[in-house]
Structure 1
Amino acid sequence: VQRNGVVLLAYDDGPFTLQQFDRKLESRFFHMMGDCLPLRWSAIHHFYDSKVHDYVTPFLLFMMGPKMRARYRTYPGNKRHTRLPLLEEKGISKGILPEIMGGKDNFDIVRWIEARK
């Protein structure tokens, strides 16, 4: 992971309002991702289908800092059926994506946690 890095796939499907955006929480989140987690972020792909993100994205880019900003890619107005071809262009096959994103991986987090108890 440290040699190649981690790819983060973020997607927002719901209709969001500007009142639901919390600047302080987002700032803490990006601080945690960039400074506190000992990971090398190779890419962040953010899929969203809400017009609010068009207003919020410049603020998010400012909070990220230059290193993370260079790795951040946005895909505005993307529905679920258009995500898979975009990800396959980047070399991410749908075989490793969870079913909720339209992929084929049937990962059960509850079963995984139980197996490690």
Structure 2
Amino acid sequence: MALGVPVVYARKSKPITMSGPVFLETAPSHTKGGEVNLLVSAEFLHPDEDVLVIDDFLASGKTMMALLRMVMSAKARVAGVAVVVEKTFEGGRAYMESVGISARIEALATIISMDDGTIRFRGDS
């Protein structure tokens, strides 16, 4: 990897190659219309590590909170949160702040509204 740091993926189901204890959290799934289990092998999260949590979207914040709970359960530190797209109109950042998450949150693109087939990004006129 270019940064020389390990990457750990949260899985939605336990593969047959994953043995031993896991960190398991449940999060709502917009695409599946229900809840989904997220899991990470305990072999890959260690106490006192700094962890940058990365996901594709930040919408309601519920999935991100599940990921952060796994990091905190491992007694690791959340170094920050990075997402590709943040949908600010769904309130995820505000929700995370309201429950005490103080980690820096960065998004590559920020959508401020999606109305009548029009997507407005932060910085649009």
Higher helix share: 1
Name the one with the larger strand percent. 2
Do they fold alike, i.e. is TM over 0.5? no
Q: TM-score range by the shorter chain?
A: 0.3 to 0.5
